[in-house]
């Protein structure tokens, strides 16, 4: 099935404008979110929406079928879920968000799509065995990440794929653990215009790793 690709931007401002246009077309609202978290004492990091061009690169490594179920951990207003329906992936996608205000904002537009759902709460309190794919954009502190990985290992009865974007300094949590295999990794800091010239999107490289866990 053909996948949508956005036009090639030439600046960060154009990236943000493309993101906004896609948000409005898919969701009817802006999904950008840049503010301090109210849950730092619970290990949460500030919410940040992933750019669509970054999601296109990361999701190019993944395969979905009718039995797939993606969990976006720390979904904010739901940018990853919007990408999921925009690309017409088979299966389902769920976002979980610790901040009830952001979860409510996501739920307001997600309800128009049968394949999407939102959970308000902590990822450490839900059944993880329901999901085949997990997406994390640096959602929480190393201590919570460690607890999340341990929960995955304790609960999963099937293989799963984990995408960890902006895992700078966190990769070691996965390395050397039984059952974990690195599928891909890379770093994103720049976009490239139609002539291939780079322009800065992030002020420092955002490393990512994609893992496969086999119980």
Question: Digits of tens for pLDDT over the chain (215 positions)?
Answer: 445 554 567 788 888 999 999 999 999 999 997 778 998 999 889 998 999 999 999 999 999 999 999 999 999 999 999 999 999 999 999 999 999 999 999 999 999 999 999 999 999 999 999 999 999 999 999 999 999 999 999 999 999 999 999 877 899 999 999 999 999 999 999 877 666 667 888 888 999 999 999 99
The helix (run of H) or strand (run of E) holding residue 57 is helix 52-59
Residue 74: predicted pLDDT: 96
| Residues 6+ positions from 172 with CB-CB distance below 8 Å | none
- Catalogue the E-assigned strands of 33-173: 69-73, 92-97, 116-120, 133-137, 160-165
Predicted TM-score (pTM) of the model is 0.93
Residue 145 in contact with residue 153, Cβ under 8 Å?
Answer: no
CA-nearest of 43, 34, 137 to 95 is: 137
Beta-carbon-side half-sphere exposure of residue 48 (alpha carbons within 13 Å): 15
Q: Which domains does the chain have, with CATH numbers?
A: 29-213 (3.40.50.150)
Residue 69: predicted pLDDT: 98
Token pair, residue 189, equals 């800091």
Using alpha carbons, list the distances in angstroms from residue 85 to 115, 129, 205: 8, 22, 28
Token pair, residue 153, equals 């290992």
Residue 8: predicted pLDDT: 63
**Whole-number Å distance between alpha carbons of 39 and 118:** 18
The helix (run of H) or strand (run of E) holding residue 173 is none
Place of tokens 């009718």: 66
Residue 2: predicted pLDDT: 44
Place of tokens 């879920």: 81
Token pair, residue 195, equals 């002539």
Residue 192: predicted pLDDT: 78
């Amino acid at each position: 099935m053909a996948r949508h690709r956005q036009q090639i931007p030439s600046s960060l401002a154009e990236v943000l404008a493309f993101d906004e246009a896609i948000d409005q077309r898919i969701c009817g609202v802006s999904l950008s979110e840049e503010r301090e978290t109210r849950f730092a004492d619970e290990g949460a990091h500030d919410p940040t929406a992933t750019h669509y061009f970054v999601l296109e690169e990361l999701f190019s490594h993944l395969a979905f079928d009718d039995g797939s179920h993606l969990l976006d951990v720390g979904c904010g207003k739901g940018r990853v879920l919007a990408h999921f329906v925009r690309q017409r992936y088979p299966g389902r996608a769920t976002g979980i968000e610790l901040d009830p205000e952001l979860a409510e904002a996501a739920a307001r537009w997600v309800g128009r799509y049968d394949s999407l759902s939102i959970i308000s709460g902590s990822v450490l309190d839900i059944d993880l065995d329901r999901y085949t794919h997990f997406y994390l954009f640096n959602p929480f502190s190393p201590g919570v990440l460690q607890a999340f990985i341990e929960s995955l290992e304790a609960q999963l009865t099937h293989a799963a794929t984990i995408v960890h974007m902006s895992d700078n300094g966190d990769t070691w949590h996965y390395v050397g653990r039984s059952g974990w295999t690195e599928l891909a990794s890379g770093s994103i800091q720049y976009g490239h215009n139609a002539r291939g010239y780079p322009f800065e999107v992030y002020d420092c490289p955002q490393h990512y790793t994609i893992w496969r866990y086999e119980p």
